[in-house]
Amino acid sequence: MARSSRMDAMTAAAQTPATSTAPKGIRLFNALIGVTTLGIFLQAITAGEFVSQEHREGWIAAHNIIADVTIVVALVTAIVGLVLVRATDRILAWFGLVLFVLLLVQTALGHLITEGEADAWIGVHVPLAFVIVGLAVWLSVRGAQVRRRSA
């Protein structure tokens, strides 16, 4: 009889859907904000490589490609935040959108500097990069806190 009750318990466990106590979408949001943050850090590395070099075209091209990929990931992050995370943490969701908008502004400034030869914008571009890094790290930390709080 002991074997029968063990089998019944195993069958019941197998039929019970696996549910996570984490809010819907927070895991995906956290993964996406992690990829976005990685792209932002890669931007800093490639910027540092071409700032003081004569033959910098390759680094600028890499910087531009990473910017485009990071913007796409940030857009997906913002959409996931607004659609799936907003009910759990409105601040997290809306600041995901803020990060996306800041990345768009940063990219526009970067193109003004490199293609429009408007070096005066460097004084805005560099400090904005620090704001973006800070926001990305904050979103990562808050996203982890939200997930832990609801687990």
Confidence of residue 19 (pLDDT cuts 50, 70, 90): very low
Q: Where are the chain's structural domains?
A: 24-150
The pLDDT, as a whole number, for residue 130 is 96
Q: Using CA atoms, how far apart are residues 129 and 51, in angstroms rounded to an integer?
A: 14
Tell me the pLDDT tens digit for each residue of 100-119: 999 999 999 999 988 888 88
Work out the average pLDDT over 141-145: 96
- 76 near 32, Cβ under 8 Å? yes
Is a pLDDT exceeding 50 seen at residue 14? no
For residue range 44-77, list pLDDT tens digits in order: 998 887 776 677 788 888 999 999 999 999 999 9
- Cα–Cα dist 94/77, whole Å: 11
